[in-house]
Structure 1
């Protein structure tokens, strides 16, 4: 019978899940057009950059909980 407690660690890695929230909700940090990358303003490519970063963070947290 399984218990509700987790068998693996991952306590501190769950804090990594806060990184995308803090990085993307702090709008004054990236509300700018410069520096542009491939013609995209900073505002857009900064948000797109967080898509693979967030996926990597989710993978790390998931693997640490096993």
Structure 2
């Protein structure tokens, strides 16, 4: 398992919920939780099934801008 934190630039509760739901449905993603205070999204996933770039693309497909990725 790998855990990566994506710092998301601005957002709201509804947008955060959409991102969490989308990621939870993806094969290989075990957990996706957003800290509502700072917009940090922690994603735990199986590197054999999915990689960081695929998770990043999914987040950006929801219209969110990622300002930093911490691996």
Structure with greater helix percent: 1
Normalising by the residue count of structure 2, what TM-score does the alignment of the two structures yield?
0.29
User: TM-score if structure 1 supplies the norm length?
Assistant: 0.30
Structure ID, larger Rg: 1
